[in-house]
Amino acid sequence: MLSIAIIGTGNVAEHLFNAFLQPQKVRVVQVVGRNKGRFTKFSSEATTDDFTQIGDADIYIIAVADDAIAEIAQFLSQKNGLVVHTSGSTNMNTIQNENRGVFYPLQTFTEGKPVNFDSIPICIEAQHDSSLKLLHNLASLISKKVHEIDSQKRKKLHLAAVFANNFTNHLYGIGEAICQEIGVSFDLLRPLILETAEKVQTLSPRDAQTGPARRGDAKSMENHLNLLKNKKQIELYTLLSEAIKSTYEEKL
Q: Does 35 bind a second copy (CB under 8 A)?
A: no
Residue 169 φ then ψ, to 5°: -60, -35
Q: Is the dihedral of CA 175, 180, 181, 183 positive or negative?
A: positive
Considering only residues 109 to 138 of the shown chain, the ones binding a second copy according to CB under 8 A are: 110, 113, 115, 119-121, 123
Of positions 52, 78, 129, 163, contacts a second copy by CB under 8 A: 163
Of positions 199, 216, 218, 222, contacts a second copy by CB under 8 A: 199
Contact 240, 221 (CB under 8 A): no
State the binding string over 83-112 for a second copy (x if CB under 8 A, else -): ------x----------------xxx-x--
**Cβ closer to a second copy: 30 or 107?**
107
Measured at the CA of 98, the angle between CA 90 and CA 55, to 5 degrees, comes to 90
Measured distance CA(234)–CA(14) in Å, rounded = 40
Considering only residues 216 to 235 of the shown chain, the ones binding a second copy according to CB under 8 A are: 217, 219-220, 223-224, 227-228, 232-233, 235
Considering only residues 49 to 78 of the shown chain, the ones binding a second copy according to CB under 8 A are: 66-67
**Cβ closer to a second copy: 18 or 175?**
175
Q: Is 29 helix (H, G, I), strand (E, B) or coil?
A: strand
Q: Does 246 bind a second copy (CB under 8 A)?
A: yes
